[in-house]
Amino acid sequence: MLKGEGPGPLPPLLEQYVALRDQYPDYLLLFQVGDFYECFGEDAERLARALGLTLTHKTSKDFTTPMAGIPIRAADTYLEKLLALGFRVALADQVEPAEAAEGLVRREVTQLLTPGTVVEESLLTPEANYLAALATGEGYGLVFLDVSTGEFKGTVLYSKSALYDELFRHRPREVLLAPELLENEAFLKEFRKRFPVMLSEASFEPVDLEPTLAPLALRRAAGAALAYARATQGGRLAPRPFQRYDPGAFVHLPEATLKALEVFEPLLPGGKTLLSVLDETRTAPGRRLLRAWLRHPLLDRGPLEARLDRVERLVRDTPLREGVRRVLFRVHDLERLANRLLLNRATPKDLLALKRSLEALPELKKMGALEHLPDLLPLAEEIGAALKEEAPSRLSQGGLIREGYDPTLDELRARARAVLDFLARLEEEERRRTGIPTLKVGYNAVFGYYLEVTRPYYDQVPPDYRPVQTLKDRQRYTRPDLKEKERELLLAEAQALRREEEVFQELRAKVAQEAERIRGAAQLLAELDVYAALAEVAVKRGYTRPRFTGRLRIQSGRHPVVETQGSFVPNDLDMTEARVIVLTGPNMAGKSTYLRQTALIALLAQIGSFVPAEEAELPLFDRVYTRIGASDDLAGGRSTFMVEMEEVAQILKGATERSLVLLDEVGRGTSTLDGVALAQAVLEALHARGAYVLFATHYHELTRLDLPRVRNFHVAAEEVGLEGGLVFYHQVLPGPALKSYGVEVARLAGVPEEVVKRARLLLEGLLAGRGEGEKVLLELLSLDLNRLTPLEALQALKRLQEMARGVLV
């Protein structure tokens, strides 16, 4: 019910509001009242809380209810905030002029807006805006639909970890869950914790996805996405043909890997990401495609070499690269423009943006940047012939069709101009006829056109003037012929406006017939944009083309993100003879950076990009796993160590001889002995699998492993001065580090000097004890138990016991 106070019935306005709201119970109804969208009752309180608005009250004779609203002229700003907060919004607009209404102005819901289905450019970012749908059956059927571009695809996954990885890669704005999942409390709790996005209900009736021969779970998810999106778009939808894809056809990048490598999101607020470094794109479709390539790097050498060839051409040909980027800067979002055409949502400004974009395409053809680009220039010429360059964004404003384009419209405009000419002449003619020099012809919304005479000339007013309004010092009049001309003018203007709308709709329908060719051009331009962007980055940053030789050898490799933030020390990596590198050295020396840069170089190579190195020979990796950094899930009852072990478990289950594995400080979340044991066991297991492993650790025990394909490296650092100052060289060199320098790093971090000194003394004692402990072990191992007499055995045991007490003191 509508929240309010008072004994009487609802006022008519609120009755209309409640009737519309009841039709859309899951939406926040924004109800047009003049120049504002208003909410009432509990909805008003929700709106006020969400947007920080002042809550007022709607009061009638017998009823009072809370009220809050937003100005229609600034609605987009508020709607963007509401969608970001997860609201679904129904816009109820006045659908008749107030002066034409008999009683209360009629209102209807004209738009349904949800986070995953918006198509309005003002409410979208350049990124893909996915609606996801998820159903179960034989595995999880997962579908993604971008209503704004028509992208429509899906896959079947057979584990929750694979499902979560795919959802993390795509980051949908809204997710539809099948009833069996909404009713599964354990799944729902875990899902909400992993993906705090809007969850919505929909009909999961399966649809036919032939010829994909899709399983039932996928067809149900596709049916839900289509039905839900179609409902929000008033029954109109323009998806592309459904594409079933297999995540196994691409490099496997788990969620932990994407996070650790900061591919899409920085670990710290305001930080840079790999995407932000690479994103020199000039168009929105290009940016979306670049993100798609980073989501799913390729496994096959042929397509990768083809991409690299295109990037290299633009790297070598500077005029071509600069020309392409200059032209692309003028191209609008053709994907979304084409989709708005198919949805019948394109505005005059959309068509003009399309015209300017299509006019740029012949330049790309002329410079040889693109082959097989469709010839859409005649379409641009048609739009240019029809629309004025200064056309308004709304049809209702009129004045958008050029003179000479439509004979019927020209005739209606000529009629209106004839009346306006009459009115323009009337003032001068009446001044001459009446002898009243101050006589004026004016207009207002109440009386229409009038003749105005000031007080000194009242006695000269002709008898055919009929008074309609008296002001302080002037009188306004009308005449039968003036009213007739006014009716002629209003009729001609109304007919012209209707005809303009008809002409525009005919033009839009004609242009929409080419929407698929426009989409095809958009895809070609998006690829060209990505190639040009990657070439620009390669030239700016000094990247080189990688070679897929089956070996892992990087000369002077760099971290693509870190190097943009200051000076950077390049490092080599050669795993021709080794499959496992144990990397030691102090904290802050750059071990994690070295690990990450190796993975990022591999990732860049497998999207078809040049890489930050002087030279890079690489195998084609099937998976990239990382375990870097500490994280916990206290709300879920999982400690840092538990999260670490779960991630390690996933790596051990999935790693193959073609996988790249980065492990940083495995085992540090438990006791030293447990940690060393686990770290060694993990390292040995990965070594047995033949995976490429970079294993950073402070456990120096691991540097003494005798395994055929394990090599030791360290990040160089040096103590200087009597106080143990530490200099980091950030160079990776062969052999293990001599020590971890933990106390020195603590001093650099600002730990009080007395604590640092005490730690040094304790460390010296521990190291001395460790040396004595090794003596005890050597003594014990040197005993020949088969030759000892009972007395000698007791004496040896007593001696070892005394040595052990010395170690423990």
pLDDT mean over 96-100: 68
Domain boundaries, given as residue ranges, for the chain: 12-113, 121-249, 284-376+514-541, 407-507, 547-748, 753-808
Neighbour order of strands in the sheet with 198-200:
198-200, 174-177, 131-137, 139-146, 151-157, 243-244
Q: Is 137 annotated as a binding residue?
A: no
CA 101 to chain centre: 44
Q: Is 586 annotated as a binding residue?
A: yes
Does pLDDT of 305 surpass 70? yes
The answer to whether the CB of 92 falls within 8 A of the CB of 40 is: no
CATH of domain 121-249: 3.30.420.110
Q: What is the pLDDT of residues 211-223, one digit of tens each?
A: 667 899 999 999 9
pLDDT at 775: 60
Residue of higher predicted confidence among 187 and 791: 187
CA dist., res. 410 & res. 458, Å (int)? 41
Token code pair at residue 590:
């750059």
Report the number of secondary-structure helices (H) and strands (E) in the chain.
Answer: 24, 26
Q: Is 590 annotated as a binding residue?
A: yes
> Pairing relation of β-strands 474-478 and 553-557?
unpaired
SS3 650: helix
SS3 of 248-289: the string is HHECECCHHHHHHCCCCCCCCCCCCCHHHHHCCCCCHHHHHH
Q: Is 587 annotated as a binding residue?
A: yes
User: What's the CATH superfamily of 12-113?
Assistant: DNA repair protein MutS, domain I (3.40.1170.10)
Q: What is the pLDDT of residues 701-718, one digit of tens each?
A: 888 888 999 999 988 766
The answer to whether the CB of 721 falls within 8 A of the CB of 747 is: no
Q: Which of 1.10.1420.10, 3.40.640.10, 3.40.50.2300, 3.40.630.30 is the CATH number of 284-376+514-541?
A: 1.10.1420.10
Does pLDDT of 584 surpass 90? no
Q: What is the pLDDT of residues 167-195, one digit of tens each?
A: 999 999 999 999 999 999 999 998 998 88
12-113 with 284-376+514-541: one CATH topology?
A: no
- Domain range 547-748, CATH class: alpha beta
pLDDT mean over 366-370: 90
Q: What is the pLDDT of residues 707-747, one digit of tens each?
A: 999 999 988 766 555 455 656 667 888 888 766 666 666 66
Q: What is the pLDDT of residues 250-304, one digit of tens each?
A: 999 999 999 999 999 998 888 999 999 999 999 999 999 999 999 999 999 999 9
Q: What is the third-level CATH fold of 407-507?
A: MutS, DNA mismatch repair protein; Chain A, domain 3 (1.10.1420)
Q: What does pLDDT average to over the chain?
A: 88
- Which residues lie below 8 Å from residue 302, measured CB to CB, with a gap of 6+? none
pLDDT at 550: 93
CA 125 to chain centre: 7
